[in-house]
Amino acid sequence: MPERVTIAWEGGTVSGRFVPANGSTGVLLAHGAGLGQDHEWMVYVRDGLAAAGIPVMTFDYPYMEAGRKAPNPARILLACHRAALAELRTRVVRVVLAGKSMGGRMGSHVAADGEDVAGLVFYGYPLVGVGKTEPRDVSHLADVGAPMLFVQGTRDRMAPLDLIEPVVESTPDTTIHIIEDGDHSFRVLKRTGREPFEVLDEVVAATADWISTL
């Protein structure tokens, strides 16, 4: 069972879940815009990484903690994210910032703003916003200064490979792991014969293998 954590940030408190493991490098796993830390996707990836020997902490952003659907402004999300990072740093030697969609994007801004982290993992980087056609500005990625892993599905409409691969290729020390037939949450079509947990096992394994190289 994960340890329940209370994370104090400048606007109040949010809840977290910490799963200890033997490794000294921990993962701060941030949720996406539409799902919280207790969603089955987050729990499966969290527990899979912990089973691989990687300590993991998740947390809810303030809007999710309050039961609201609309994400907070970026400055609030980032303040909360930094507080969660500070909390995890009291438990591990080094931290990798990981996140699903929006959570990964927020992590990239935290790192680009100067936080010293061991690496970043993006589970479906939201390069193209919902209802948008033009990609977001990702120039801040050049300021991260840490290795990065993009895990991207070939059917992800928010990060078409023809748009995300040039980002990866132009950013130093950056790797991409492609989930064949995966959408933004790595769901695959039934015709592939793959179960959802099998795909997430691939995601976890790719992450753990990459972290072992840091």
CATH number at residue 94: 3.40.50.1820
What range does the domain containing 77 cover?
3-212
* Average pLDDT for 140-144: 96
Average pLDDT (19-27) is 97
Confidence of residue 77 (pLDDT cuts 50, 70, 90): very high
- In total, how many domains does the chain have? 1
DSSP states of 41-92 as a string? HHHHHHHHHHHTT--EEEE--HHHHTT-SSPPPHHHHHHHHHHHHHHHHTT-
